[in-house]
């Protein structure tokens, strides 16, 4: 800064008559409410910018990359009523605190559904009025997916063949490799697609696009060397707006480790699935969606071929270890 109105003496920020050093001053706000114990941890958000979210008993810290800069927003719990939490949002750049409301659905499996209101400058629970949640005619919750998600039982099971349609179809490959499939070179007259959930705990999805169903002369499977193309873990599912959603985890997925699926049983022997482009499903995505405009990558049409005890579909989406059941009243 110059001593007079002229700027000719300002050469560089470090070579000027008056040098100022500015540091961000963060406003200190004491928390006065608490989050549920099972909400603590590190989460991957499907919201705007897909930030990484860290939650403890009183704070929610959102971290997102904007260009080459990492930005963190600190949310302090101020007041709670039911599923709505009034938060003081403090930026690490020291700007004035804003107040935003989080509505959080109780944790189910490895997923927490939530939505946020518009940010306002007044510290009042009126921020949590439903009119401040930017709701259009059609809306759905964003999701938080646990970074260390544990597999859960899939909502359906059995063995299926499938057809697919979409801009990013499933492809044959060597699992965790880059080669397309050098092991499937032996003679096999009966190759089909295979989509199976047949393990004992029904937590894993095995997908093979050229599985050999032929048997040798002894009645044993001729396929003894090939490996499946995809191995997914179910980590959560729920139902919202009459649409069934499933989250799977695949550490070898180059796009997103977590994928969202919309699924629907259309008959006793057919299921339809639509895979999302990432960890979230599109607002208008249905089980028949296969275009990027709808938020989908590929649609699968599953046809039942083999029954393991019973082709099971869990229709009770809210029953899990995270929900406590009230004791029955004596009759």
User: pLDDT tens-digit profile of 266-316?
Assistant: 998 899 999 999 899 988 899 999 999 999 999 999 999 865 444 455 555
One domain, residues 287 and 162:
yes
Mean pLDDT of 84-113: 88
Asked if residue 322 is part of any domain, the answer here is no
Q: Name the residue among 81, 82, 84 with its Cα closest to residue 133.
A: 84
Mean pLDDT of 218-244: 86
pLDDT of 72 higher than 50: yes
Asked if residue 286 is part of any domain, the answer here is yes
Q: Name the residue among 42, 50, 41, 43 with its Cα closest to residue 278.
A: 50
Higher-pLDDT residue of 141 and 91 is 141
Q: Going along the chain, which residue ranges are E strands?
A: 41-45, 52-55, 59-66, 69-81, 84-91, 98-104, 111-116, 142-146, 158-165, 191-197, 204-212, 230-240, 243-249, 258-265, 270-276, 296-306
pLDDT at 314: 59
Domain count, the chain: 2
One domain, residues 79 and 43:
yes
- pLDDT class of 186 with cuts at 50, 70, 90: low
One domain, residues 172 and 265:
yes
Mean pLDDT of 71-84: 92
Nearby residues of 253 by Cβ (< 8 Å), 6 or more positions away: 259
pLDDT of 183 higher than 70: no
Asked if residue 258 is part of any domain, the answer here is yes
- Which of 47-51, 96-100, 272-276, 308-312 has maximum average pLDDT? 272-276
The parent domain of residue 179 ranges over 158-306
One domain, residues 167 and 227:
yes
One domain, residues 50 and 174:
no
How far apart, in whole angstroms, are the C-alpha atoms of residue 292 and residue 130?
31
Q: Name the residue among 232, 234, 260 with its Cα closest to residue 113.
A: 260
Asked if residue 320 is part of any domain, the answer here is no
The partner residues of 212 in beta bridges, in order of sequence, read: 191
Asked if residue 12 is part of any domain, the answer here is no
pLDDT at 95: 67
One domain, residues 125 and 259:
no
pLDDT at 145: 95
Collapse the DSSP code of 294 into the 3-class scheme (helix H, G, I; strand E, B; otherwise coil) and give the result: helix
Q: List the alpha helices (DSSP H) in the chain.
A: none
One domain, residues 140 and 182:
no
Give the dihedral sign, CA 261/173/209/224.
negative
4 φ, ψ (degrees, to nearest 5): -125, -170
- pLDDT class of 329 with cuts at 50, 70, 90: very low
One domain, residues 199 and 285:
yes
pLDDT of 84 higher than 70: yes
Least reliable range by pLDDT among 34-38, 211-215, 266-270:
211-215
Are 63 and 70 in contact, with CB atoms under 8 Å apart? yes
Asked if residue 327 is part of any domain, the answer here is no
Collapse the DSSP code of 74 into the 3-class scheme (helix H, G, I; strand E, B; otherwise coil) and give the result: strand
One domain, residues 235 and 297:
yes
How far apart, in whole angstroms, are the C-alpha atoms of residue 61 and residue 80?
18
Q: How far apart, in Å, are the Cα atoms of 129 and each of 24, 85, 140, 219, 288? A: 32, 11, 17, 67, 35
Higher-pLDDT residue of 179 and 32 is 32
List the structure tokens of 5. Answer: 């109105």
Least reliable range by pLDDT among 138-152, 272-286, 316-330:
316-330
Asked if residue 65 is part of any domain, the answer here is yes
One domain, residues 78 and 170:
no
pLDDT of 323 higher than 60: no
Least reliable range by pLDDT among 148-162, 247-261, 310-324:
310-324
Least reliable range by pLDDT among 125-129, 196-200, 289-293, 312-316:
312-316
pLDDT at 138: 79
pLDDT at 327: 44
One domain, residues 57 and 90:
yes
Q: In whole numbers, what is the pLDDT of the chain averaged over residues?
A: 84
* Strands 158-165 and 142-146, bridge-based pairing: unpaired
Asked if residue 213 is part of any domain, the answer here is yes
């Amino acid at each position: 800064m110059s001593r007079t109105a002229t700027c000719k003496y300002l050469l560089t920020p470090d070579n000027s008559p008056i040098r100022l050093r500015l540091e961000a001053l963060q406003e200190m706000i004491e928390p006065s409410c608490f989050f549920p114990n099972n909400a603590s941890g590190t989460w991957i958000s499907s919201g705007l910018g897909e930030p990484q979210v860290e939650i403890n008993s009183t704070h929610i810290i959102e971290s997102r990359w904007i260009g080459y800069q990492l930005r963190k927003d600190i949310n302090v719990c101020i007041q709670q009523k039911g599923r709505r939490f009034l938060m003081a949002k403090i930026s690490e750049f020291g700007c004035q605190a804003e107040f935003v409301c989080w509505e959080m659905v109780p944790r189910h499996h490895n997923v927490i559904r939530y939505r946020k209101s518009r940010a306002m400058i007044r510290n009042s629970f009126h921020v949590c009025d439903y009119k401040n949640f930017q709701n259009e005619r059609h809306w759905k919750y964003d999701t938080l997916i646990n970074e260390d998600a544990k597999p859960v039982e899939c909502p359906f099971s059995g063995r299926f063949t499938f057809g697919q349609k979409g801009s990013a179809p499933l492809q044959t490959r060597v699992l965790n490799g880059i080669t397309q499939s050098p092991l499937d070179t032996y003679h096999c007259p009966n190759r089909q697609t295979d989509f199976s959930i047949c393990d004992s705990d029904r937590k894993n999805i095995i997908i093979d696009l050229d599985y050999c169903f032929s048997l040798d002369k002894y009645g044993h499977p001729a396929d003894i060397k090939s490996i499946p193309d995809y191995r997914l873990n179910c980590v959560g599912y729920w139902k919202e707006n009459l649409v069934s959603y499933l989250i799977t985890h695949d550490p070898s997925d180059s796009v997103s480790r977590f994928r969202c699926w919309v699924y629907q049983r259309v008959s006793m022997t057919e299921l339809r699935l639509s895979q999302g482009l990432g960890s979230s499903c599109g607002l208008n995505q249905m089980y028949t969606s296969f275009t990027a405009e709808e938020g989908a990558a590929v649609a699968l049409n599953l046809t039942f071929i083999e029954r393991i005890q019973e082709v099971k579909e869990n229709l009770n989406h809210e029953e899990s270890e995270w929900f406590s059941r009230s004791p029955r009243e004596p009759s």
